[in-house]
Structure 1
């Protein structure tokens, strides 16, 4: 019984060694893979900034491709505020100073005990 097990193992090892040998036959490689697209996004265009000094306020105008889309108004007396054209139709809506006292952090309740 031991002898037949040993012979079976030897035959198995010999056949595996024979199957593993390379006879110099190599399959040709396929075409090279296409280059990986760059993950770097193109740089966002910088807005054109114009500062206009008036008697009662300083107005900073932001333009993209020549179109006025936002103004920051800093009055001599009072808080600064923004005028933003959200829809691109020339109508400006007032927004409070971004990042000022009106900025409220989210206060979500995730777990409550």
Structure 2
């Protein structure tokens, strides 16, 4: 099981806030948006199709990053 602390994180600083991109194996699975004004929120790829399809206002202590089967034989 992968933990959020093990993800590769890319920080993007902008005038209007900060964006953190979280990746496992080069694959983007979550973006944290921290606007200069307003509340932070998260965009998640919950289906593994590369689309950030879920928006959440926060992550609970039991949050587990989405995991997908990449190959099976």
For normalisation by structure 1, the TM-score amounts to: 0.46
Larger radius of gyration: 1
Contact 1:79 1:97 in 2 (8 A): no
Q: Distance in 2 between matches of 1:44 and 1:55?
A: 32
Q: Does 1:60 pair with 2:20?
A: yes
Unaligned runs of 5+ in 2: 61-73
Q: Which is helix-richer, 1 or 2?
A: 1
Q: Which is strand-richer, 1 or 2?
A: 2
Unaligned runs of 5+ in 1: 1-42, 100-113
Cα RMSD, aligned residues only = 1.8
Corresponding residue of 2:55: 94
Corresponding residue of 1:82: 42
- 1:81-112, CA deviations, whole angstroms, 9 ceiling, x for partnerless residues? 0000001112212111224xxxxxxxxxxxxx
For normalisation by structure 2, the TM-score amounts to: 0.69
Query: Across the two proteins, how many residue pairs are aligned to each other?
Result: 57
SS of the aligned residue for 1:52 comes to strand
Q: Larger relative CO (CA 8 A, sep 6+): 1 or 2?
A: 2
